[in-house]
Every structure is written in structure tokens, then in C-alpha cells.
Amino acid sequence: MLFLLSFHLTSMRQKGFRHNITQSLAILPLVGLLAAVVWMLPDVRSLQLGGGLLVTFVMAYLVIECNNRYQLLRVRSRMNSVVFLALMAAFPSSHLLGWHLAPAAALLAAYFVLFRVYGQTCTQGTLFHVTLLLSLGCLVFPPLVLVIPFALFVAAVQLRALRPAAFGAAVLGWLLPYWIYAAILLALHGFDWTLLPAYYVDVLPQLPKFDYVAVNPLTWVSYAAVIVPGLIGTAHFYSTSYNDKIRTRQFLYSLTVLQIPVLLLTALYPEQSSTLLPLLVAVYAPMISHHLTLARGRMADFWFVCCTLAVAALIAFPFFSF
């Protein structure tokens, strides 16, 4: 008994504090509780804050299910959802319940469904649902349409699931929400067909303003807090991808492709931070957690501490700024 206890303690010391944290099953409920406290601290009676927190917890659950089903981490860890919750808690502009959370929820649900096509022979229904989900997000945030071609590229190249019939189903899923929304508008306005041109103008992406000076400096810091660790995590994945199973590699490669349109949207519409920050967290959380959990060496431990302190500083800043 003493020998087993000694062996366990020695093993923990060899792994280091970072591995003990990232592979602990207690870290998720702890971070979830802290996120809830930070979220509701401004006004515990606010229904908008409570609604935003509830939607974020639902998205975090989807992240958990994605990791469980597709084994994005090769060790037993909840860091995907931990990173997601910690980053979402750090961005107060996204805390209120609103349509700005819908694009991130649509993207999370879309790539959760998209990964199902790996190994499938009949993919029409799955790809229909993928583009349908993304198209629903486009009704709220029209520039999200940029993600759809990249999702189809992933299905064709990484997951090898885009056949002619599946492509047709994907196009149908993409267009269906627009048709239904147009039909509802026509029905509400006495089938006045002259409204259709104005409707299609409303659902098309607006031209970028490129007014970077008007964006709050804290917003740029928030973008950097997701993008920099995300890119470092992506680079780490590419350098160590041989350690992952082929199936896991394909899923993570797919996520690196989906990063591209979200980064482009951030460059084009930086003023839409309440929408874009959750989108960035949705695509980068798996890469950040992959790096923080699986990287080795003292530099990885140092980077883990830096990331933790940076998120803590972002969370604390609104409460101590005057």
C-alpha cells in the first residue's frame, strides 16, 4: 500500500503541476463555477446575463460532447471546455443574452455534425444539416457565409465526403433558411413582392468599414488573447500531429482550415467583437487546450502560467477599471 502511494506521488511530481491541472476531473466544475460568479457578479438578478450564461454553458456542453465523441485530446481531460468557458468569461461584451451568440453556437454545432461524415458512405443528410446550421447563423451575422465554402472544402479534402449528391444537399441546406425567411416576411406583409429586393440586401454581408482606429484597444487585446495562443497551439499541433491517431488528425486539420474564414472576418469586421470573440473561441479552444494539455517541457509550463494570468487579468480588468 505504501509502495503504491509512493509510486503515485512520484508519478505526480514527474508529470508536473500543469499535467495535474489539465488532466484533473475537478477543473471543469471549478472553472464553470468561477465563470458563473464572474458572469453574474455585475447583476445577479439580470435575466440577460443569466440567459447569456445558460447559452454559454450549453455551448460548453457541446464542446464536451465533441471531445468525447471525436477524441480531440488523446488523454483524459476536460481542457477543451475549460478553455472555452475561461475565455468566454473574459469577454464581458459577449455576456448578455443576444443574437451575437448565435453564430458561435451555429459554428460549434456545424463542426460537431461535420465530423460525423468521416467514414460515412452516405453523407447527403449530414452535409445538409451542416450548411443549414451555418446558414441559420448567417441570418444573424451575414458575413458568416464565408465559412460555408471552407466547410465544404474540409468535407471534400480532409474528410473525403463531398460527392455530387452531397454537394447538392449542402447547397439546399445553405439556401433553405433564406427561402423560409423570405416566405415569412412576404406572409407578414401581405405578399408584397416588392419587398424581396430589400430583403436580399439585408441578408447580404455589408462592405467592411476598415475603421481600425475606432476599435477599442481592449478589444484588440481580447482578440490577441485568443488568436496568439490559438496560433501557437496550431503550430504545436502541426509539429506533433504524428502522435495523434489518423482520425483525430483529420478532425484537428479540419479545425485549422475553419480558422481561416474566422480570422478573415475578424480582420474585415473588427468592430463586431461581441460576435467575433465567441467565434474565435469556438475554433481556437481545441487548439489551445491541445497545446496546454499535451506540450512538454518547462517552456510549456511557463506558457500555461502566462495564459492563466492573461485570462485572469482580462477577467479582473472590468472590475478594477475606473
The pLDDT value recorded for residue 200 is 65
Instruction: Write b or e for each residue in 194-204: b if 16 or more Cβ atoms lie within 10 A of its Cβ, otherwise e.
Output: eeeeeeeeeee
The pLDDT-based confidence of 321 (bands split at 50, 70, 90) is low
**Alpha-carbon torsion (213, 215, 221, 226), positive or negative:** negative
Closest by CA to 105, choosing from 80, 79, 140, 153, is: 140
pLDDT at residue 4 above 60? no
The percentage of the chain sitting over the pLDDT mark of 90, rounded to a whole number, equals 72
pLDDT digits (tens, 9 = 90+) for 218-275: 999 999 999 999 999 999 999 999 999 999 999 999 999 999 999 999 999 999 999 9
pLDDT at residue 173 above 70? yes
pLDDT digits (tens, 9 = 90+) for 197-211: 666 666 677 788 888
Give domain limits for the chain: 20-320
Place of cell 475578424: 266
Do residues 250 and 286 lie in contact, with contact meaning Cβ atoms separated by under 8 Å? no
Query: Three-state SS for 205?
Result: coil
User: CA 121 to CA 259: how far, in whole Å?
Assistant: 27
The pLDDT value recorded for residue 15 is 57
User: Helix and strand tally (H, E) in the chain?
Assistant: 14, 0
pLDDT digits (tens, 9 = 90+) for 37-72: 999 999 999 999 999 999 999 999 999 999 999 999
Residue 305's identity, in one-letter code, is V
The percentage of the chain sitting over the pLDDT mark of 70, rounded to a whole number, equals 90
For the chain, the average pLDDT equals 89
pLDDT at residue 96 above 80? yes
pLDDT digits (tens, 9 = 90+) for 149-166: 999 999 999 998 889 999
The pLDDT value recorded for residue 208 is 87
The pLDDT-based confidence of 20 (bands split at 50, 70, 90) is confident
pLDDT at residue 138 above 70? yes
User: DSSP letters of 254-311?
Assistant: HHHHHHHHHHHHHHH-TT-HHHHHHHHHHHHHHHHHHHHHH--SHHHHHHHHHHHHHH
**Stretch 134-145: mean pLDDT, rounded?**
94
**Alpha-carbon torsion (313, 278, 109, 293), positive or negative:** negative
Place of cell 512520484: 10
Do residues 222 and 273 lie in contact, with contact meaning Cβ atoms separated by under 8 Å? yes
**Stretch 81-93: mean pLDDT, rounded?**
96
The pLDDT value recorded for residue 9 is 36
The pLDDT value recorded for residue 80 is 95
The pLDDT value recorded for residue 249 is 94
The pLDDT-based confidence of 93 (bands split at 50, 70, 90) is very high
Closest by CA to 281, choosing from 147, 85, 111, is: 85
Burial class for 227, CB neighbours closer than 10 Å (0-12, 13-18, 19+): middle
Closest by CA to 271, choosing from 201, 311, 222, is: 222
Report CA Rg, the chain.
Answer: 21
